[in-house]
Amino acid sequence: MVRGLADPMRNLNLDETEFCLMRVIGLFDEDFGYLSEQGRNSSRQIRDYYIRVLIRHIHVFRSHMPEAEIGCRVSMVMLLISSITKLQHLTNDNIRLSETPIPASMGKYSYQLICGVCSDQATSRHYGIVSCNGCKGFFRRSIWNERAYKCRNGGACKIAKEHRNVCRACRLRRCLEAGMNPRAVQNERDHNAKRGDMSSRKEMSPSAAVQTDPLSCSPSHLTKSHLSGADAYYDEAVAILLSLEHRVMTRVDAPGSSSVTSPAHISSHVPFITAFNNPSIVTPRTPLVITGIRIATVDDALQDWRRAFVIYADWLNEFPEFKLFEHSDKMILAKKRFIPFYWWLLAYWTVQAGCDGVAYANGSYLPRIKELQCVPDVRQTCERMMKELA
Amino acid sequence: MVRGLADPMRNLNLDETEFCLMRVIGLFDEDFGYLSEQGRNSSRQIRDYYIRVLIRHIHVFRSHMPEAEIGCRVSMVMLLISSITKLQHLTNDNIRLSETPIPASMGKYSYQLICGVCSDQATSRHYGIVSCNGCKGFFRRSIWNERAYKCRNGGACKIAKEHRNVCRACRLRRCLEAGMNPRAVQNERDHNAKRGDMSSRKEMSPSAAVQTDPLSCSPSHLTKSHLSGADAYYDEAVAILLSLEHRVMTRVDAPGSSSVTSPAHISSHVPFITAFNNPSIVTPRTPLVITGIRIATVDDALQDWRRAFVIYADWLNEFPEFKLFEHSDKMILAKKRFIPFYWWLLAYWTVQAGCDGVAYANGSYLPRIKELQCVPDVRQTCERMMKELA
DNA sequence: AAGAGTCCAGGGTCCATGCCC
DNA sequence: TGGGCATGGACCCTGGACTCT
Ligand SMILES: [Zn+2]
Ligand SMILES: [Zn+2]
Ligand SMILES: [Zn+2]
Ligand SMILES: [Zn+2]
């Protein structure tokens, strides 16, 4: 069943810019009741501004999609933002990942198309997945003829370009596993005229052999530079955001920094405001390691929470628009929105790492499969951390 | 800005089955804390069952979409369901419609144009007759290229959506018989600097060399029966649901029915349970008029609320699985889930009516534009109604 | 606004090629 | 050696979304 919040996120295949923008929008979204009048206005303005930027971004970067799908994507993104903004705690449930493992092709934003069946070079999508011509034809013929092949190797054949014709049973199995949809195969059609034999065209006059077309086709309409003016504005907003993102994510404290004592949590029960203004007392800024190569322990989860808090504080303190708020509003916002912010961080790391679970920023991950988890309950962990910053 | 819950719904372009299923899932979704142990189990089972049916339905009816978009749709649908299930009140905000007006083409599921050639759904007239996009394109191409097809079946092929591509000779013949006018086909426009070398299509001579194509192909692979078994099961679930839907929506009380006194609200402060078990005391079952041709007054809104409640009660009382619950659980569920149910009804009516606002079931609608609204605030209205059923 | 034409992803067809009996 | 047939790259055709008049 597809229920976790992580699922729509994964299906959307968000890029980095979208992640950043959605996080920002979430920070300043809705539910302004607790802010001052002025804070409310600023908040709404910032939100609306970044929503415009995001919608723009989607339209530009998905311009190959039909309009309807873009609309669908925009709606879904908005729905996701508001769902996540409303999160009061992270629970095992709402960070839960899909039951289906990550398709290997996602997460890498490569533009080279690879056949999902045999890894040959592919030209486009066929029967629902990116696939090569060979696998396309093979699948259609198999479905039409209702072939039931038999493997002579116990069904364990690997399928690759070089030997994809060795075992039809396994090739067809791979096709289905990779997601080819038998329902997308249509009926046989009418026959075409023979090649070269143009008799079905009602015979054109021979004088028509002018062929005044010496390759006048310029490949220049590849740039869809329809848009300008406001675009510069929008590009700049994105650039600023990404650079802030990069700065905060790569910020590292010198190992022997004076304000840093030890990587441990000497700092229980610091007032929130102190921690927020000087986050390195919570934990030093260690480099982020998004690999998800080992299973997280309870300490990993706690430590990641601290590191994420430092990122949060650094990020907000550097975010230009945040400076517009009065001090009290700043604190209210900062307290209120850490959980959604952290959710976005985890979501992004998880996609980056491509591991089968929720990735933390110290190389560990919380496995999707309960039996492997060393962390009793995410929610408890989070609440414990929240208390730490009374 | 795209923020109202109605937007994603509109972008998804849900069909009737999806509406029904989503409503059912919402009824039995999450938040089971207040039910008895047994009620919780039933509820979860029903929900999961209908989620399976819904996912199945989406996969079947959107099988032309790429896999990733289907996944996206499924996720979005789930997100929508849970968002709407959480609604505690209808407010002007969460039933708010998009700022962009409805495209004229949507919402007219009512007129239902049929292609005169192949009986597919049609959008408008082409070349003189109501026809689908496929037949439009086919006719234009055939005329341009002066194609002379040859039927391999003695010219007796039936033309229908599913196999209209099997015999082009008969399809073209049907086009002409149905009244498509070759003279309505204009010349190719050439402005858009074509990239390809379409120059091969020059003027043709009148001599018609009919192509002879003594092919013996069997038109027999029309069956691609890979799938069955579970499909029947699923089809049946959908059929039952739609028939219930239809029954409830068309149920009308005889004008002079005894239990009915007057269309007014004599019935303030009836206990919920009484109203639920005998809904016609709330308001008689008037026919539903989903046209949205006049602006709603406060009375319209109130009356619609009552009518919707009657639909809700009728529907739940007839829904087979609802009978599995204990009496107390029934009441809890029924009280808890009217708002989301009503939301779905309004959403569906609005799409059906295609008016620029929220459609009620008595021919009126709440305009999108504030200045036109006669209803002060939807939320207040709803709350007032809720109190009526203390 | 209606109804022409345009575009193009992704269906299907064709057939040179090669494998197998 | 020849006929049967699967393969896959080149190409044709379809129809939904769109633009243009
Ligand atoms: Zn392949
Ligand atoms: Zn095999
Ligand atoms: Zn048609
Ligand atoms: Zn025919």
B2 vs A68, A78, A221: nearest CB: A78
Hey, what are A198's tokens? 């143009």
Hey, what are A33's tokens? 């009741």
Query: Tokens 């060399």, residue?
Result: B209
Q: How sure is the predictor about B58, in pLDDT bands with cuts at 50, 70 and 90? A: confident
- Out of A209-223, A248-262, B351-365, give the one with best mean pLDDT: B351-365
With 60 as the cut, is the pLDDT of residue A2 above it?
Answer: no
The residue of chain B with its CA nearest to that of A105 is B68
B199 vs A211: CB contact, 8 Å cut-off? yes
- Residues near ligand 3 ion, CB 5 Å cutoff: B 115, 117-118, 120, 132, 135
Give the range among A243-257, B182-196, B285-299 with minimum mean pLDDT.
B182-196
Hey, what are B114's tokens? 């049929």
Hey, what are A323's tokens? 């400076």
Mean pLDDT of B281-293: 84
Residue B89, pLDDT score: 57
Residues of chain A positioned with their CB less than 8 A from the CB of B3: 78, 82
Higher pLDDT, B387 or B185: B185
Q: Where are the alpha helices (DSSP H) in chain B?
A: 6-12, 16-27, 37-61, 67-85, 133-145, 168-178, 230-250, 272-277, 298-318, 327-336, 338-353, 378-388
pLDDT in tens, A120-168: 888 888 988 889 999 999 999 999 888 788 888 888 888 888 888 888 9
Mean pLDDT of B262-271: 54
- Calculate ∠ Cα B5-B7-B9, nearest 5°: 80
- A166 CA vs C20 C1’ separation (Å): 13
CA distances from B250 to A260, B22, B103, B359 (A): 72, 20, 28, 17
Mean pLDDT of A337-358: 76
Asked if residue B356 lies in contact with residue B372, where contact means CB atoms within 8 angstroms, the answer is no
Calculate how far, in angstroms, residue B136's C-alpha sits from the geometric centre of ligand 3: 7
Nucleotide nearest to B193 (CA to C1'): C6
Give the range among A36-50, B180-194, B295-309 with minimum mean pLDDT.
B180-194
Nucleotide nearest to A66 (CA to C1'): D17
With 90 as the cut, is the pLDDT of residue B171 above it?
Answer: yes
Nucleotides of D under 7 A from a protein CB: 6-10, 12-18, 20-21
Q: How sure is the predictor about A191, in pLDDT bands with cuts at 50, 70 and 90? A: confident
The residue of chain A with its CA nearest to that of B162 is A187
B67 vs A181: CB contact, 8 Å cut-off? yes
Mean pLDDT of A369-390: 57
CA distances from B206 to A54, A156, A208, B219 (A): 57, 61, 14, 32
A94 Cα to chain B: minimum distance (Å): 12
Cα A322 to chain centroid distance, Å, stands at 26
Query: Tokens 């070079």, residue?
Result: A121
With 70 as the cut, is the pLDDT of residue B28 above it?
Answer: yes
Ligand nearest to the CA of A151: 2
Asked if residue B366 lies in contact with residue B296, where contact means CB atoms within 8 angstroms, the answer is yes
Cα B135 to chain centroid distance, Å, stands at 24
CA distances from A372 to A99, A124, A296, A376 (A): 15, 38, 9, 11
Mean pLDDT of A375-387: 56
Give the range among A105-114, A365-374, B132-141 with minimum mean pLDDT.
A105-114
- Residues near ligand 2 ion, CB 5 Å cutoff: A 151, 153, 157, 167, 169-170
- Out of A373-377, B151-155, B163-167, B224-228, give the one with best mean pLDDT: B163-167
Ligand nearest to the CA of A138: 1
Nucleotide nearest to B66 (CA to C1'): C10
- Out of B21-35, B143-157, B163-177, give the one with best mean pLDDT: B163-177
Asked if residue B333 lies in contact with residue B35, where contact means CB atoms within 8 angstroms, the answer is yes
Give the range among A306-320, A332-346, B51-65 with minimum mean pLDDT.
B51-65
Distance CA A65, CA A73 (A): 10
- Cβ-Cβ pairs closer than 8 A, A with B, add up to 166
Nucleotide nearest to B65 (CA to C1'): C10
- B153 CA vs C21 C1’ separation (Å): 35
> How many other CB atoms are there within 10 angstroms of residue B287's CB atom?
11
User: What is the value of pTM for the model shown?
Assistant: 0.52
Helix axes A37-61, A67-85, angle to 10 degrees: 150
Half-sphere CA count of B47, side-chain side, radius 13 A: 21
Residues of chain A positioned with their CB less than 8 A from the CB of B149: 190, 200
pLDDT in tens, B108-123: 223 367 889 998 888 8
Residue A149, pLDDT score: 85
- B234 CA vs C12 C1’ separation (Å): 31
Residue A137, pLDDT score: 94
The residue of chain B with its CA nearest to that of A126 is B66
Residues of chain A positioned with their CB less than 8 A from the CB of B75: 2, 7-8, 11-12, 76
Q: Which residue spans within chain A are E strands per DSSP?
A: 124-126, 129-131, 289-295, 357-359, 362-367
Calculate how far, in angstroms, residue B382's C-alpha sits from the geometric centre of ligand 3: 46
Nucleotide nearest to A133 (CA to C1'): D8
Calculate how far, in angstroms, residue B168's C-alpha sits from the geometric centre of ligand 3: 12
Residue A62, pLDDT score: 64
Give the range among A42-46, A342-346, A350-354, B265-269 with minimum mean pLDDT.
B265-269
A7 vs B148: CB contact, 8 Å cut-off? no
Report which DSSP code applies to B189: P
**Chain A interface disruption, residue of B22, B142, B202, B216, most A CBs within 10 A:** B202
Residue B139, pLDDT score: 94
Residue A219, pLDDT score: 27
B211 vs A199: CB contact, 8 Å cut-off? yes
Q: How sure is the predictor about B127, in pLDDT bands with cuts at 50, 70 and 90? A: very high
- B149 CA vs C20 C1’ separation (Å): 37
Nucleotide nearest to B217 (CA to C1'): C13
> What is chain B's mean pLDDT, rounded?
70
Asked if residue B97 lies in contact with residue B353, where contact means CB atoms within 8 angstroms, the answer is no
Residue A107, pLDDT score: 26
The residue of chain A with its CA nearest to that of B141 is A201
CA distances from B254 to A384, B257, B275, B281 (A): 63, 5, 19, 14
Residues of chain B positioned with their CB less than 8 A from the CB of A208: 202-203
Calculate how far, in angstroms, residue A154's C-alpha sits from the geometric centre of ligand 2: 6
SS3 B102: coil
With 60 as the cut, is the pLDDT of residue B357 above it?
Answer: yes
Residue B196, pLDDT score: 34
Calculate how far, in angstroms, residue B169's C-alpha sits from the geometric centre of ligand 4: 5
Give the range among A4-18, B37-51, B229-243 with minimum mean pLDDT.
A4-18
Distance CA A278, CA A258 (A): 13
B166 vs A189: CB contact, 8 Å cut-off? yes
Q: How sure is the predictor about B216, in pLDDT bands with cuts at 50, 70 and 90? A: very low
- Out of A96-105, A370-379, B331-340, give the one with best mean pLDDT: B331-340
A182 vs B224: CB contact, 8 Å cut-off? yes
Nearest to A301 by CA among A337, A348, A272, A342: A342
Q: How sure is the predictor about B208, in pLDDT bands with cuts at 50, 70 and 90? A: very low
Q: Which residue is nearest to nucleotide D19 (CA to C1')?
A: B192
Query: Tokens 């082009």, residue?
Result: B168
Residues of chain B positioned with their CB less than 8 A from the CB of A51: 1
- A136 CA vs C15 C1’ separation (Å): 17
Torsion of CA B203, B206, B210, B211, to 10 degrees: -20
B219 vs A8, A188, A211: nearest CB: A188
> How many other CB atoms are there within 10 angstroms of residue B158's CB atom?
12
Strands A129-131, A357-359: pairing is: unpaired
B221 vs A129: CB contact, 8 Å cut-off? no
B75 vs A11: CB contact, 8 Å cut-off? yes
B48 vs A1: CB contact, 8 Å cut-off? yes
With 70 as the cut, is the pLDDT of residue A379 above it?
Answer: no
- Out of A101-110, A324-333, B57-66, give the one with best mean pLDDT: A324-333
Residue A3, pLDDT score: 44
